[in-house]
């Protein structure tokens, strides 16, 4: 896959970052940098989450009770804060997925309207 330029990367829709973080942590506990890397890798380098967006989002999700964290040692043998989903976070991810499906359907209807039928 060719490397994308900043201009080719997509800006995240407001509110989708929380959903992407929750989804990423559904695969298992991860430290902040790893979450950003996973989102980038899973999107084939199309989505890049900047530190200035990622860490405030993680703090917000912890405050809402959707994530918990604990100190552990990273692959690089560094002390790192590892985040994991709570039961409330799993329930929120389910709600976010439903809302996302509705949004995609609504945008699809606007972008690709059904042909008008003759009465």
Domain contains 118? no
> What predicted TM-score, i.e. pTM, was given to this entire model?
0.83
Domain contains 117? no
pLDDT in tens, 5-15: 555 455 566 67
Domain contains 59? yes
Domain count of the fold of the chain: 1
- State the DSSP code for 43: T
Domain contains 7? no
pLDDT in tens, 23-45: 999 999 999 999 999 999 999 99
pLDDT in tens, 57-86: 999 999 999 999 999 999 899 999 999 999
Q: Domain range for residue 34?
A: 17-108
**Which of 74, 75, 57 shows the shortest CA–CA distance to 66?**
57
Distance (Å, rounded) from C-alpha 17 to C-alpha 13?
8
Domain contains 114? no
CA angle (32 as vertex; 65, 25 as ends), nearest 5 = 55
Domain contains 10? no
**Which of 11, 16, 89 shows the shortest CA–CA distance to 50?**
11
For residue 30, what is the domain's CATH number?
A: 1.10.10.10
Domain contains 90? yes
pLDDT recorded at residue 11: 55
Domain contains 40? yes
The whole-number average pLDDT for the span 95-115 is 92
Using only C-alpha atoms, the chain has a radius of gyration, in whole angstroms, of: 17
């Amino acid at each position: 896959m060719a490397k994308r330029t900043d201009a080719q990367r997509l800006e995240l829709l407001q509110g989708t970052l929380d959903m992407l973080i929750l989804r990423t942590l559904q695969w298992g506990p991860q430290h902040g940098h790893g979450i950003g890397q996973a989102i980038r890798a899973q999107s084939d380098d199309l989505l890049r989450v900047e530190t200035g967006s990622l860490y405030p989002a993680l703090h917000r999700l912890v405050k809402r009770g959707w994530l918990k964290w604990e100190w552990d040692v990273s692959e690089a043998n560094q002390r790192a804060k590892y985040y994991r989903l709570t039961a409330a976070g799993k329930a929120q991810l389910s709600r976010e997925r439903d809302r996302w499906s509705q949004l995609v359907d609504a945008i699809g209807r606007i972008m690709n309207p059904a042909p008008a039928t003759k009465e």
